[in-house]
Amino acid sequence: MLRQAFDLHRANRLQDAEAGYRAVLERAPDNPDALHLLGLVMRGVGRNEDALQWLQQAVEARPGFAEAHYNLGNTCVALGRIEQGIAAYEQALALQPAYAMAHYNLANAYRSIDSLPRAAEHLHKAVRHDPDFFEAWHNLANILKDMGEPALAVNVYRKVLARKSDLAEAHYNLGLAQLSMGAFEEGFREYEWRWKVASFPSPKRDFVQPLWNGSPFPGKTLLVHAEQGLGDTIQFCRYLRQVAPFGGRIVLECVKSQAGLLGRVFEDITVVPSGEPLPPFDLQIPLLSLPHVFGTTLATVPASCPYLTVDPVRAARWRDRLGDGPEAKVGLVWAGNPRHGNDRNRSMSLRDLLNLPMVPSLRYFSLQRDRAAVELTQLGLTKVVPDLGAEIDDFDDFAAAIAAMDLVISVDTAPAHLAGALAKPIWLLLPFSADWRWQTETQESPWYPTMTLYRQKKAGDWAEVMARVSADLLAAADEWTSDDGVAVGG
């Protein structure tokens, strides 16, 4: 009966297999194989809570059943019970130490709770027991990159690609590791694989017009289309100035909230908000492919700032709004888009900023949008940190508000890029595993000369970062006060 039910299971006749396993259990309630396989059927039809019960009975019936412990771990993780899943994987490995798949999934569980060293440990074991386990090699490289070891990660990515040269995810992640090391020319070349990665956040645009390769295009129209986040558009729109000498007409497509700012700054470029009809064009290129086309290296980053400007009418309005007091005006941004894939690491709570020095020479303003009012109100800080975010209409307005500040302190999100592009002093607060564009270890950015980087020394530890920021801010405020009007800088 068990064999018949198993054959039905293998044929993906899950309903019939379930009936067969239940028939076995009517005669032998403690049969560990039937309990285990019925649990797998429940998983196959999406009934994870039921699967959990059957798998728990299976390991109780046969405590030495490594595969059942492993599948119990998979089910716990699927239900979000990570610690329970880790315990089940550990039990499976105690029974079968060379169980490569259990090491692999245990590593994934540890990674989900940001225990990267433990994840790396088990991925090393997975590939030791199964040297051809490409997914484990790739995940090991990803973990090493996230642990701030890009050079080691690059070696592992190359090991993967030596055997599977068309693995788009490995090429893309190799590019990210190289970029974080400052190897821009190689990194931007590998970064072009992003369009073949299924999980890449920006969908590929299926234009029939050919991709621009950097050749002159006199008499033709080039469409440059923004991709990914708002900060990416701000950071890389600088390349439009390098495109202009190649002749022809340039059209930039970007989100509506940035179209006014970029249309005003790049007067000789046609700016079209996303979703609106595009004019006829002959060539096209994604915005973040321009560094590759121009062969950008660390030494040739077009870092001249400001490359964005402020609308004088809006600037005057914001100056009037904030007043001309002698205090240094400090704009605060503590959270980015919650839909960003790494938002839980890059964003912080307003509570994390509460250690900033409250001294007469400093005035704080919230430039935070969307979430700001709630946190400011909950913590009773609306009088100490006035909420300006609700008064900001678009990025042209945002630029004018930032220009009215003496200093911006921000997590890794679009306003930080905007401050850098305006050559405003900006202190950037970075998680332990920062985005590739901020490289590793350095306190300066090749992209923004007025930016100072404050990195977490330990994952999740914003307190130590803010202690350094507070000390530096006090020293800068004292210098600003003594210099009678010198803006606070990094």
What is the C-alpha R_g of the chain? Answer: 27
Same domain? 29 vs 114:
yes
Same domain? 331 vs 411:
yes
Closest C-alpha among 168, 137, 130, 172 to residue 152: 137
- Over residues 225-281, the pLDDT tens digits come to 999 999 999 999 999 999 999 989 999 999 999 999 999 999 999 999 999 999 999
Residue 194 lies in a domain: no
Closest C-alpha among 451, 448, 422, 435 to residue 301: 448
Query: Total structural domains in the chain?
Result: 3
Residue 208 lies in a domain: no
Q: Which distant-in-sequence residues (6+ apart) come within 8 Å of 44 by Cβ?
A: 14
Same domain? 332 vs 458:
yes
> Is pLDDT at 41 greater than 60 in this prediction?
yes
* Residue ranges in 362-432 assigned as alpha helix (H): 372-378, 395-403, 414-421
Same domain? 240 vs 327:
no
Q: What are phi and psi of 225, to 5 degrees?
A: -110, 130
pLDDT of residue 141: 97
> Is pLDDT at 480 greater than 80 in this prediction?
no
> Is pLDDT at 372 greater than 70 in this prediction?
no
Same domain? 319 vs 289:
no
Same domain? 401 vs 465:
yes
Task: Give mean pLDDT, residues 208-216.
Answer: 97
Task: Give mean pLDDT, residues 184-193.
Answer: 98
- Over residues 454-470, the pLDDT tens digits come to 999 998 899 999 999 99
- The DSSP line for 157-195 is HHHHHHH-TT-HHHHHHHHHHHHHTT-HHHHHHHHGGGG
Same domain? 114 vs 250:
no
Measure Cα distances from 103 to 152, 200, 359 in Å.
Answer: 20, 26, 52
Last residue of a domain, one of 259, 294, 329: 294
Give the model's confidence band at 352: pLDDT under 50 very low, under 70 low, under 90 confident, else very high.
confident
Q: Which two tokens stand for residue 333?
A: 């941004």
CATH of the domain at 323: 3.40.50.2000
> Is pLDDT at 486 greater than 80 in this prediction?
no
CATH of the domain at 250: 3.40.50
- Over residues 405-428, the pLDDT tens digits come to 999 999 999 999 999 999 999 999
Same domain? 356 vs 407:
yes
Task: Give mean pLDDT, residues 169-181.
Answer: 97
Phi-psi region of 148 (alpha: psi -120 to 50; beta: other; left: phi over 0): left
- Residue 283 structural domain: 221-294
Residue 179 lies in a domain: no
Task: Give mean pLDDT, residues 321-330.
Answer: 89
Q: Give the start-end residues of each E strand in 204-276.
A: 221-225, 249-254, 270-273
Residue 301 lies in a domain: no
Rounded to whole angstroms, the Cα distance separating 489 from 438 reads 19
Q: Give the start-end residues of each E strand in 322-399.
A: 328-333, 362-366
